[in-house]
Chains A and B, each alone.
Chain A
Amino acid sequence: MSNPSASVGVRLEGVTKSFGDTAVLKGIDLAMAPGTLTTLLGPSGCGKTTILRLVAGLEMPTTGRILIGDEDVSLLSASHRDVAMVFQSYALFPHMTVGENVSYGLKVQGVGKEERHARAEAAMASVGLAGYGGRYIDQLSGGQQQRIAVARALILEPKVMLFDEPLSNLDSKLRRQMREDIRRLQQDTGITSVYVTHDQEEALSVSDEVVVISEGAIAQKGTPKHLYRRPVSPFVATFMGDANITTGRVRDLDGVMVVEIDGLRVPIEDAEGLAGERQVALRPESLNLKDIGPGLRGTVRSHAYVGAATEYWVQWGDHELFAIMPASTREFPVGAQVYVDIDPVGVAVIG
């Protein structure tokens, strides 16, 4: 049912944005393919919302161009852009019923009452809230409000959908379900979408492409897997998940690329042209503590039991390694001499 042929891409070309003297965005170049969901990921205050607002037309770029499809919309007002946005606070109109909220855009367009009603019902049904039209907003739970906000954004079938941390006000269980629903709706409709979050797990699970933003500039972009495996900087590596940053030597060992860390050799994939001294990120889940080698030799400094897993801090030379072990494995007491083995899945060469 997806209809990517009707979708259009979004492009930002050399976009900068300053508020007064503060440069918030420092040159963003970004192309989002038609029908894809792109996530902007980055710490709070890095400029993610500002990028969304520029695409929506709620801010005007200081320099640069914004294109939707082939049209330069840089100077168009928000109401002329064919872009819908789901706000972090949902921004549902408190003086209107749920149905009036959802059909607001249709009313603005002058769509007749019958059709408005039918389409609003359909949109509410698509988010699983058929029959809620008569209620007021404050009679809905947070998750329901969120769904209505999505339905309202969908109803005009915009060319671009923008989501600004849509799940940040929900509890973790609801969050997981909502994010699946949003992803499904996006794929069904084929509407090019931009999704902002500071939660890397959310970013990795919903996106076709992830763009990591740092201080108003793009730190790296790529598929979730690519970013996880091949971060270009320690910043990206740590932002994509907990990581121990250390150095290793990448070399070709009889046709197999390996990274050598303190004598321990770990095979790695897609490492052409990386040979030499490199920074390496080691994911804590793939560090295994053992009594015997091979592995990095260290001493257990402390550990913490966190339900399904046990977390260890291991002194290794002048580094401290952070490791997470399934709770089912045996426990190592503080002071124990251990070997830390590395699962190749959890190794990312930076660069």
Chain B
Amino acid sequence: MAIAQNKPAQNKRAQANRVSWIDPLVLWSLAGLAAFALLPWTALEYGIFDVTGGELLAAYGWSSVNLSLVAVAVFALFMARPWRGLAAPAAHRVDALLAAGAFLGLLAAADGGRVALGYGAAVQLIALGGIAAVALARLGFIRGDAFMTASILIIVGLVILFVFFPISMVFSKVLVDLDGTFTPFAFFDNVTAFGIGRVLVNSLSLAVAVGVSTTILGLVFALYAARVSRRAQGLIKLFSILPIITPPFVIGLSLILIFGRNGTINDLLLALFGDGGLFIGQGNEGWFERSPYIYGFWGIFLAQTLSFTPISFMLLVGMISTTNPALEEASLTMRASDWQTFRHVTFPLIRPGIANAFLLGVIASLADFGNPLVLGGDYDVMATEIYFSIVGAQLDYARAATLGILLLAFSLAAYVIQRQWIGKKSYVTVTGKGGAGGFQPLPRWMRRATAAIAFAWILFTAILYGSILLGGFVVNWGADYTPTLAHYEELWTRGLGYGAWPSFLTTLGFAAVAAPLTAVLGILIAYVTTRRRFLGRNVIDFGAMICFAIPGTVIGVSYVIAFNTPPILLTGSAVIVIISFVFRNMPVGIRAGISALSQIDVSLEEASLTQRAGSMRTIFSVVLPLLRPALISAIVFSFVKSMTSVSAIIFLVTADTQVATTYILGRVEDGDYGQSICYGSVLIITMLAVILVINRVIGRSRTERQTAME
């Protein structure tokens, strides 16, 4: 019997099992003590690279008597563990309580003493969390799994620190006055006093209009792609990639190029109807003048419709192509006409999707910052008003906070309705059987109409993107169409320290750091919330939901308010920009994680656990290899989204941490459209290249794997 031959090996294994590792509690304590010795305990106001020797010394915990000594005492206590003699669960309980108490105590004392915590303190807090995780696991939490417990503690900590804490600070700006008195009614005073009513009405009417238009267009294109054209893959690809690679105000800019005061249309009309125009007779001079009609409601409306139709399209096309064709066939066999079938069968089946698309359009419009900023004119919406309250001459945090709360409330409400109410009410039946005959054709007029609209849209999009790509090559679009390379030279050929390069490189660096963090954290959140049951999962779920719903501007304003004062002083640093990227793009990672994990049988992980692999080993050897395609695309998408992010970081960047989008925005504000669109097209092309290359790579590794298996 083969098994019996392995006895020597078994003995070896038994010995290996007997090796007693150093207690992880001691390791964590050592880490905490090392952090005290080696790292500055309080924050360095000017960053680690610009600090003077004296400042650095003063920042070390051991340079004076301060709070850090308490932390040192706690770690020393953990090294000794005088309570180690207690029976097992009691000793672990002492560990857990002491670690948690020290953690919260440090934070509270730092806030009370207004100490800005630095790297040393951060490491010590993490070490305390690690100790708590080990102790909790020994008490049987998360199936006795220390790594998972630690991951969960870290996630909960991060969500509290970077989601709940900043938002609560926004509330406190509004609900608590400068003396710290609770003044709940000030909120309503603020709403009326700041003239916010008009902004609210503007935002909401715009959002509803955009919700309607994007839904109708999305439906038309979805019908076209799913039921009319056999070659819809291209359209689907286009719609899925364009919104991701397009920086936020580029569509607005291209609309200005075409429809603006000096835009192409005005030029054309002027040539036809203006003074000396083709159709203007004597005595009619001055009848037509250049007009800024694109600025205001209709301009934003058009830009947002163009920007967000892909969202509703992607949702509806999925829904329409998964309805069961047999239902329509059944209707037709009952002698219903094409139109009756569509009206009474197809349409009701996709109605929940339509409501869903509408709400997503509303949320996207409310959150949009770039388009209203360049096209708004006098038409103020909440997202831009928040910006102007802070960057303008007024610097009015209370007003920004009030608007932020309102904006968050509306987005959250729309999101909750979308998720809880309609999200569940789906009739789509995915049986895996599929009708033999495929879908019935739509009524003929609908086929023609959808094809015509889709064609017009594609043409218009082509014109817009064309104007962006070409606009950078003329002296001054609208005034002087002489071809030139001046803009490109100005931006890109003056060396790495000039023009676009500093902000471009900064952006690449930030995005490169943020993207893997976003993907890993997002997938980890997806993992713990779908794969583990534990106390406090609701905290993570709720935090994730806020990440999904929160408009970027609100993130930005909340970070400015929360991280501008001790104990956590981060404004002005690169760290805060990266963190805001991470939490801004978290939904990308979470979504990718949830959908990929739902394809992986849980028992694979359990098999690994029963093979004595710990959960960390299991994640690296089993989960991640299976998640690899999802992980790579999550990294790519968060990379690309970070590059185009503007609303969340516009308050957070400084001259040193200028990124591409804020640089472009600066050029727009200077009226320098040539350079802005030139920079914009470089961004678009860079991101397109990144996506195409990565898609290639993922695609290839998939096919290789398949051939290997055959």
A interface, CB within 8 angstroms of B = 1, 3, 19, 56-60, 74-85, 87-89, 91-95, 104-105, 108-111, 115, 119, 122-123, 125-126, 136, 138-139, 152-154, 156-157, 162, 185, 188-189
Mark interface residues in B287-329 (1 if CB within 8 Å of A CB, else 0).
0000000000000000000000000000000000000000000
Q: Give Cα A80 to B137, complex, Å.
A: 12
3 tightest A-B contacts by CB? Answer: A77-B144, A105-B611, A122-B2
Contact of B617 with A60 in the complex, beta carbons under 8 Å? no
Task: Report which of A83, A84, A115, A152 forms a contact with B9, defined as CB distance below 8 A.
Answer: A115
B609 and A79 contact, CB distance less than 8 A: yes
Q: Provide the residues of chain A in CB contact with B20, threshold 8 Å.
A: none
Find out whether the CB atom of B612 lies under 8 angstroms from the CB atom of A79: yes
A58 touching B143 by the CB < 8 A rule? Answer: yes
Return the chain A residue nearest B145 by Cβ: A77
A76 lies within 8 A of B144 (CB):
yes
A123 in contact with B137 given A58-B606, A77-B609 (CB within 8 Å): no
If A79-B609, A108-B613, A138-B709 touch, whether A91 touches B3 (CB-CB below 8 Å) is no
Is B143 in contact with A87, judged by CB distance below 8 angstroms?
Answer: no
Q: Do the beta carbons of B606 and A85 come within 8 Å of each other?
A: yes
**A78 engages B708 (CB within 8 Å):** no
Q: Say whether, besides A109-B612, A122-B6, A75 and B138 are in contact (CB < 8 Å).
A: yes
Interface membership of chain B positions 334-361, coded 1 if the CB is closer than 8 angstroms to chain A and 0 otherwise? 0000000000000000000000000000
What does the 1/0 interface line of B615-631 toward A look like (CB < 8 Å)?
Answer: 10100011001100000
Residues on B facing A (Cβ under 8 Å):
1-6, 9-10, 13, 16, 137-140, 143-146, 533, 601, 603-604, 606-615, 617, 621-622, 625-626, 708-709
User: Which residue of B5, B603, B611, B613 is within 8 Å of A89 (Cβ)?
Assistant: B603
- Min Cβ gap B598→A in Å is 15
State how many angstroms separate the Cβ of B537 from the closest Cβ of chain A. 12
Asked if A125 and B606 sit within 8 Å, CB to CB, the answer is no
A122-B5 in contact (CB<8A)? yes
Q: Which residues of the partner chain B approach A1 to less than 8 Å between Cβ atoms?
A: 1, 4
**When A and B form their complex, what is the total count of cross-chain residue pairs whose Cβ atoms lie within 8 Å?**
128
* Chain B: minimal CB distance from A232 (Å): 33
In the complex, the answer to whether B1 meets A188 with C-beta atoms within 8 Å is yes
Contact check, B137 vs A91: say whether CB atoms are below 8 A apart.
no
How far, in whole Å, are A266 and B84 apart by their CA atoms in the complex? 67
Cβ of A58 and Cβ of B611 under 8 Å apart?
no
Question: A136, B4: Cβ atoms under 8 Å?
Answer: no
**How far, in whole Å, are A125 and B4 apart by their CA atoms in the complex?**
12
* Min C-beta distance of A80 to chain B, whole Å: 8
A83 partner residues in chain B, CB cutoff 8 A:
610
Chain B residues lying within 8 Å of A123, measured Cβ to Cβ, are: 2-3
Contacts of B612 in A (CB 8 A): 79-80, 82, 105, 108-109, 156
* Chain B residue with the shortest CB-CB distance to A184: B1
A261 to chain B, nearest CB (A): 48
Chain B positions within 8 Å of A189 at CB level: 1, 3-4
In the bound complex, CA of A109 to CA of B10 (Å): 12
B144: A residues at CB distance < 8 A: 57, 60, 75-77, 80
A157 and B3 contact, Cβ closer than 8 Å, known pairs A60-B140, A78-B610, A79-B609: yes
Contact among A87, A110, A136, A156 with B709 in the assembled complex (CB-CB below 8 Å): A136
Known contacts A57-B143, A85-B607, A94-B604; 18 further A-B pairs (Cβ under 8 A): A1-B4, A57-B144, A60-B140, A75-B139, A77-B145, A78-B609, A79-B614, A80-B612, A84-B611, A92-B607, A93-B608, A93-B622, A105-B611, A105-B613, A109-B612, A122-B5, A157-B10, A188-B4
Whether B610 contacts A104 by the Cβ 8 Å rule is: no
Of all chain A residues, the one with the shortest Cβ separation from B604 is A91
A139 & B709 in contact (Cβ 8 Å cutoff): yes
User: Which of A58, A92, A110 is B16 in contact with, Cβ under 8 Å?
Assistant: A110
Q: Is B606 touching A122 in the complex (CB atoms < 8 A)?
A: no
Tell which of A109, A125, A154, A188 touches B13, judged by Cβ atoms closer than 8 Å.
Answer: A109
Interface centre among A3, A91, A110, A126 (most CB of B within 10 A): A91
22 inter-chain pairs at a CB distance below 8 angstroms, sorted by A residue, are A1-B1, A58-B609, A78-B610, A79-B615, A83-B610, A85-B606, A87-B603, A87-B606, A89-B601, A89-B603, A91-B604, A91-B607, A93-B604, A93-B608, A95-B625, A104-B613, A108-B612, A109-B13, A111-B13, A122-B3, A136-B708, A188-B1
> Which B residues lie within 8 Å of A78 (CB)?
143, 606, 609-610
Residues of B within 8 A of A82 (CB): 612
List chain B residues, Cβ under 8 A from A19. Answer: 533
How close is A326's CB to chain B, nearest CB, in angstroms?
40
Q: Are A126 and B2 in contact (CB under 8 A)?
A: yes
Q: Which residue of B lies closest to A115 (CB)?
A: B9
Chain A residues whose CB sits within 8 angstroms of the CB of B4 once the complex forms: 1, 3, 188-189
Give Cα distance in the complex from A152 to B16, angstroms. Answer: 20
Candidates B603, B613, B615; contact of A91 at CB < 8 Å: B603
Determine whether the beta carbon of B137 is less than 8 Å from that of A77.
yes
Q: Which residues of A contact B621 (CB under 8 A)?
A: 104, 108
Give chain A residues whose Cβ lies under 8 Å from the Cβ of B622: 93
Contacting pair A84 B610 (CB below 8 A)? yes
Q: Which residues of B contact A75 (CB under 8 A)?
A: 138-140, 144
Which of B2, B9, B609, B708 has the most chain A CB atoms closer than 10 A to its own CB? B2
- Known A84-B611, A126-B3; judge A91-B601 contact (CB<8 A): yes
Residues of B within 8 A of A91 (CB): 601, 603-604, 606-607
Which of A74, A125, A139 is in CB contact (< 8 Å) with B140? A74
Bound-state CA distance A76–B607 (Å) is 16
Say whether, besides A110-B16, A119-B6, A188-B3, A77 and B603 are in contact (CB < 8 Å): no
Give the CA-CA distance A95 to B5 in the complex, in Å. Answer: 29
For A122, list chain B residues within 8 Å (CB). Answer: 2-3, 5-6
Contact A108 B617 (CB under 8 A): yes
B138 neighbours in A (Cβ, 8 Å):
75
**CA A83 – CA B621 in complex, angstroms?**
20
